[in-house]
Amino acid sequence: MLTKITAQYRWFEGASFDHAYYASEHMKITREAVKAFGLVRLESERVLWPTTEAAGAIVAATSAYFPDMASAQAALEAAGPALQADLVNYTNIRPEMRMAQVSPHLPA
């Protein structure tokens, strides 16, 4: 089983989000900051439906997968300051964070 860290961004009136910067530059910074901790996979999402830019709607998310919880926690602790510092370059939305255990289920 893998451990996944997810950051999601919930829209509010007056929010801004630069999806182009997020998908290119911020993901490069993220990958470099966490790859030494056993990063398995990194994904970024631009939500298309339900309609974005509605109050409370999630407009973007990132998921970073690690081999175990200890690796995920170490990555979050080490990379947190650099990722927070880059936030001003693409949004004024505070990310909501969560960590989850992932059990893959393949088609039979």
Is-contact 44 108, C-beta < 8 A? Answer: no
Residue 100: band (very low, low, confident or very high) from pLDDT cuts 50, 70, 90: very high
Quote the strand ranges of 1-108, DSSP E. 2-10, 41-46, 58-66, 96-102
With pLDDT > 70 as the criterion, what percentage of the chain qualifies? 100
CATH number of the domain that residue 42 is part of: 3.30.70.100
Domain of 62, in residue numbers: 2-102
Query: Does residue 68 sit within a domain?
Result: yes
pLDDT in tens, 33-47: 999 999 999 999 999
- Cα dist. 26→10, 56, 104 in Å? 17, 23, 27
Residue 15's pLDDT is 97
Average pLDDT over residues 15-37: 97
What is the tally of structural domains in the chain?
A: 1
